[in-house]
Amino acid sequence: MPQPSLISGIPILDSLLEGKWAYFASAVEHAILPSLALALVTFGVITRILRSSLMEVLQMNYIRTARAKGLDENAVFYRHALRNAFIPVVTLSSIILTWLITGTIFVENVFAYPGLGQYVVTALLGQDYPGILAATIVFAVTIAVGNLVADLLYAVVDPQIRLG
Protein backbone atom coordinates (compact mmCIF):
# COMPACT_ATOMS: atom_id res chain seq x y z
CA MET A 1 0.00 0.00 0.00
CA PRO A 2 1.45 3.36 -0.97
CA GLN A 3 2.21 5.90 1.72
CA PRO A 4 0.29 9.16 1.72
CA SER A 5 2.10 12.27 0.60
CA LEU A 6 3.62 14.43 3.32
CA ILE A 7 1.01 17.06 4.21
CA SER A 8 1.12 17.39 8.00
CA GLY A 9 3.97 15.00 8.78
CA ILE A 10 1.64 12.72 10.75
CA PRO A 11 0.97 9.57 8.68
CA ILE A 12 -2.40 8.80 10.27
CA LEU A 13 -3.68 12.33 9.61
CA ASP A 14 -2.19 12.45 6.10
CA SER A 15 -3.91 9.18 5.17
CA LEU A 16 -7.23 10.60 6.38
CA LEU A 17 -6.75 13.79 4.39
CA GLU A 18 -6.01 11.85 1.20
CA GLY A 19 -8.64 9.19 1.77
CA LYS A 20 -6.21 6.25 1.86
CA TRP A 21 -8.30 4.13 4.19
CA ALA A 22 -6.17 0.98 4.00
CA TYR A 23 -3.09 2.90 5.13
CA PHE A 24 -5.12 4.60 7.86
CA ALA A 25 -6.40 1.24 9.17
CA SER A 26 -2.88 -0.18 9.14
CA ALA A 27 -1.46 2.86 10.96
CA VAL A 28 -4.17 2.67 13.63
CA GLU A 29 -3.56 -1.07 14.10
CA HIS A 30 0.15 -0.44 14.55
CA ALA A 31 -0.52 2.32 17.10
CA ILE A 32 -2.69 0.18 19.39
CA LEU A 33 0.05 -1.80 21.15
CA PRO A 34 2.37 1.16 21.86
CA SER A 35 -0.61 3.15 23.13
CA LEU A 36 -1.63 0.32 25.42
CA ALA A 37 1.93 0.01 26.71
CA LEU A 38 1.83 3.65 27.76
CA ALA A 39 -1.76 3.76 28.98
CA LEU A 40 -2.08 0.60 31.05
CA VAL A 41 0.56 1.63 33.56
CA THR A 42 -1.08 4.96 34.27
CA PHE A 43 -4.62 3.56 34.12
CA GLY A 44 -4.00 1.42 37.19
CA VAL A 45 -2.58 4.34 39.15
CA ILE A 46 -5.45 6.68 38.23
CA THR A 47 -8.08 4.04 38.99
CA ARG A 48 -6.56 3.27 42.37
CA ILE A 49 -6.31 6.94 43.38
CA LEU A 50 -9.84 7.72 42.17
CA ARG A 51 -11.29 4.75 44.01
CA SER A 52 -9.62 5.60 47.32
CA SER A 53 -10.57 9.26 46.96
CA LEU A 54 -14.16 8.36 46.14
CA MET A 55 -14.41 6.03 49.12
CA GLU A 56 -13.16 8.85 51.36
CA VAL A 57 -15.52 11.46 49.88
CA LEU A 58 -18.56 9.19 50.20
CA GLN A 59 -18.05 9.18 53.98
CA MET A 60 -18.16 12.99 54.26
CA ASN A 61 -20.92 14.88 56.04
CA TYR A 62 -22.13 16.82 52.98
CA ILE A 63 -22.79 13.53 51.18
CA ARG A 64 -24.92 12.35 54.10
CA THR A 65 -26.68 15.72 54.07
CA ALA A 66 -27.42 15.48 50.34
CA ARG A 67 -28.85 12.01 50.82
CA ALA A 68 -30.90 13.20 53.80
CA LYS A 69 -32.38 15.99 51.68
CA GLY A 70 -33.73 13.29 49.38
CA LEU A 71 -31.48 13.85 46.37
CA ASP A 72 -31.35 11.09 43.82
CA GLU A 73 -28.37 8.77 44.33
CA ASN A 74 -27.06 9.58 40.85
CA ALA A 75 -27.17 13.29 41.63
CA VAL A 76 -25.35 12.73 44.89
CA PHE A 77 -22.70 10.63 43.18
CA TYR A 78 -22.09 12.73 40.07
CA ARG A 79 -22.69 16.27 41.33
CA HIS A 80 -21.19 16.02 44.80
CA ALA A 81 -19.00 12.96 45.32
CA LEU A 82 -17.32 12.49 41.96
CA ARG A 83 -16.44 16.16 41.51
CA ASN A 84 -14.65 16.28 44.84
CA ALA A 85 -13.03 12.88 44.32
CA PHE A 86 -11.43 14.12 41.09
CA ILE A 87 -9.24 16.66 42.93
CA PRO A 88 -6.41 14.16 43.65
CA VAL A 89 -6.71 12.80 40.10
CA VAL A 90 -6.21 16.29 38.66
CA THR A 91 -3.15 16.67 40.88
CA LEU A 92 -1.83 13.34 39.66
CA SER A 93 -2.53 14.17 36.01
CA SER A 94 0.43 16.52 35.68
CA ILE A 95 2.75 13.86 37.10
CA ILE A 96 1.28 11.24 34.77
CA LEU A 97 1.78 13.55 31.80
CA THR A 98 5.48 13.60 32.65
CA TRP A 99 5.50 9.79 32.84
CA LEU A 100 3.78 9.52 29.47
CA ILE A 101 6.15 11.93 27.73
CA THR A 102 9.27 10.26 29.06
CA GLY A 103 7.72 6.85 28.46
CA THR A 104 7.44 7.60 24.75
CA ILE A 105 11.24 7.49 24.54
CA PHE A 106 11.21 3.84 25.61
CA VAL A 107 8.00 2.73 23.90
CA GLU A 108 8.90 4.22 20.52
CA ASN A 109 12.26 2.47 20.58
CA VAL A 110 10.86 -0.89 21.68
CA PHE A 111 8.20 -0.81 18.95
CA ALA A 112 10.40 0.97 16.37
CA TYR A 113 7.69 3.61 16.02
CA PRO A 114 8.92 6.89 14.56
CA GLY A 115 8.33 9.87 16.79
CA LEU A 116 9.90 12.36 19.14
CA GLY A 117 11.07 9.66 21.53
CA GLN A 118 12.99 7.87 18.82
CA TYR A 119 14.40 11.21 17.67
CA VAL A 120 15.68 11.88 21.19
CA VAL A 121 17.51 8.56 21.30
CA THR A 122 19.01 9.16 17.84
CA ALA A 123 20.10 12.66 18.89
CA LEU A 124 21.65 11.33 22.09
CA LEU A 125 23.55 8.57 20.30
CA GLY A 126 24.75 10.98 17.62
CA GLN A 127 25.61 13.72 20.13
CA ASP A 128 23.33 16.12 18.27
CA TYR A 129 23.24 18.87 20.89
CA PRO A 130 20.78 21.19 19.08
CA GLY A 131 18.44 18.23 18.59
CA ILE A 132 18.70 17.26 22.25
CA LEU A 133 18.05 20.86 23.28
CA ALA A 134 15.06 21.17 20.95
CA ALA A 135 13.51 17.93 22.23
CA THR A 136 14.11 19.02 25.82
CA ILE A 137 12.39 22.33 25.15
CA VAL A 138 9.42 20.56 23.52
CA PHE A 139 9.12 18.20 26.48
CA ALA A 140 9.45 21.07 28.99
CA VAL A 141 6.84 23.23 27.25
CA THR A 142 4.45 20.28 27.03
CA ILE A 143 4.87 19.54 30.73
CA ALA A 144 4.44 23.23 31.66
CA VAL A 145 1.25 23.49 29.56
CA GLY A 146 0.00 20.26 31.16
CA ASN A 147 0.59 21.72 34.62
CA LEU A 148 -1.24 24.90 33.61
CA VAL A 149 -4.21 22.88 32.36
CA ALA A 150 -4.21 20.87 35.61
CA ASP A 151 -4.25 24.12 37.61
CA LEU A 152 -7.14 25.44 35.52
CA LEU A 153 -9.03 22.17 35.98
CA TYR A 154 -8.97 22.74 39.73
CA ALA A 155 -11.45 25.58 39.21
CA VAL A 156 -13.72 23.24 37.24
CA VAL A 157 -13.54 20.34 39.68
CA ASP A 158 -13.30 22.05 43.06
CA PRO A 159 -16.32 24.25 43.85
CA GLN A 160 -14.33 26.20 46.47
CA ILE A 161 -11.80 27.50 43.91
CA ARG A 162 -12.83 30.41 41.70
CA LEU A 163 -10.87 31.97 38.87
CA GLY A 164 -10.34 35.70 38.96
Amino acid code (one letter) for 154 = Y
Q: What is the pTM of this model?
A: 0.72
CA distance 21 to 63: 50
Could you read off the pLDDT of 51-78 as tens digits, one per residue? 999 999 999 998 999 899 988 989 889 8
pLDDT tens digits for range 110-147? 988 878 888 999 999 999 999 999 999 999 999 999 99
pLDDT band at 80 (very low <50, low <70, confident <90, very high): confident
Q: Give CA–CA dist 92/78, Å, rounded.
A: 20
**Identity of the amino acid at 160:** Q
Q: First CA to last CA across the chain, in angstroms?
A: 54
Q: Is 25 a residue whose pLDDT tops 70? A: yes
Evaluate whether 90 touches 80 at the Cβ level (below 8 Å).
no
Query: Which run of H or E residues covers position 164?
Result: none
